[in-house]
A and B are shown apart, each in its own frame.
Chain A
Amino acid sequence: QQQVKQSPQSLIVQKGGISIINCAYENTAFDYFPWYQQFPGKGPALLIAIRPDVSEKKEGRFTISFNKSAKQFSLHIMDSQPGDSATYFCAATGAGSYQLTFGKGTKLSVIP
């Protein structure tokens, strides 16, 4: 059972454009939603995270939007740059849990 569904699988965006990646979850016990960025040959690194008590969190060019009623959250990358080209994973976990449940990832390519 896939508890976190991520889309699209791949995304091509022009430099300066907005990249949007969506995730949906099923488990209502989830209460922490991080996004990870992974470059080829590297391990994933935490990018930004949100809790469901807020609907949006922004850090620089990266914004998470959260819709608790729809059980959906998304990552927006403003002014996308070629250096943002990487695979992005959404994840979710519940209170007190140590297990992160990951989406399948989105490969983002930002073309000049």
Chain B
Amino acid sequence: GAGVSQSPSNKVTEKGKDVELRCDPISGHTALYWYRQSLGQGLEFLIYFQGNSAPDKSGLPSDRFSAERTGGSVSTLTIQRTQQEDSAVYLCASSLVGGSVNEQFFGPGTRLTVL
């Protein structure tokens, strides 16, 4: 497929467990973004990767959240010791180059439910 893909599409976990969410960006896109979409809220920026540069982690809500991007392509968002307030849809986007005026293409998201 030509679009951004994310897996799993749904994840149900118990409070205190760790989860990993995966994002496959569009081939050739150097910039990758993670957002969180909570019920009734807009999209909240989490983290930004551009090529091999150090990521901008300024949006991560706590040190339980981390993300990596291997080989400039696939990215994994990890949430440790999940809490109920982490329940949300986690969206990944990629763009050809960095800078938000470059169209960001979003994946379908991973719906995380923490029981």
Query: Which residues of A does B touch, CB under 8 Å?
Result: 4, 6, 9, 32, 41-46, 89, 91, 93, 96-105
**Which residues from A are CB-within-8-Å of B33?**
98
**Which residues from B are CB-within-8-Å of A105?**
40-42
- Report the 5 A-B pairs with minimum CB-CB distance, sorted nearest first: A43-B106, A102-B42, A93-B100, A102-B43, A104-B42
Say how far B45's CB is from chain A's closest CB, in angstroms: 5
Which of B13-21, B60-68, B71-79, B91-99 forms contacts with chain A? Answer: B91-99
Known contacts A89-B43, A102-B42, A103-B42: does B101 contact A43 (CB below 8 Å)?
no
Query: Which residues of B does A touch, CB under 8 Å?
Result: 4, 31, 33, 40-45, 48, 50, 56, 59, 91, 93, 98-101, 103-109
**Which residues from B are CB-within-8-Å of A42?**
108
Summed over the interface, the residue pairs from A and B with CB atoms below 8 Å come to a total of 56
User: Which of A44, A96, A99, A104 is B45 in contact with, Cβ under 8 Å?
Assistant: A99
**Contact indicator B42/A96 (Cβ below 8 Å):** no
Say how far A11's CB is from chain B's closest CB, in angstroms: 15
Q: How far is the CA of A104 from the CA of B37 in the complex (A)?
A: 9
**Which residues from B are CB-within-8-Å of A100?**
43, 45, 100, 104
Complex A-B: 12 CB contacts under 8 Å: A43-B4, A43-B93, A43-B109, A44-B106, A91-B43, A98-B31, A100-B43, A100-B45, A100-B100, A100-B104, A101-B45, A105-B41
Known contacts A98-B31, A98-B48: does B104 contact A46 (CB below 8 Å)?
yes
Q: How far is the CA of A100 from the CA of B59 in the complex (A)?
A: 12
**Which residues from B are CB-within-8-Å of A46?**
103-104
Say how far B14's CB is from chain A's closest CB, in angstroms: 24
Pick from A46, A89, A96, A102 the residue with the most CB of B within 10 Å. Answer: A102
Q: How far is the CA of A98 from the CA of B34 in the complex (A)?
A: 12
Residue of B nearest to A99 (CB): B45
**Which residues from B are CB-within-8-Å of A4?**
42
**Which residues from B are CB-within-8-Å of A9?**
40
Residue of B nearest to A95 (CB): B101
Say how far B33's CB is from chain A's closest CB, in angstroms: 8
Q: How far is the CA of A86 from the CA of B40 in the complex (A)?
A: 14
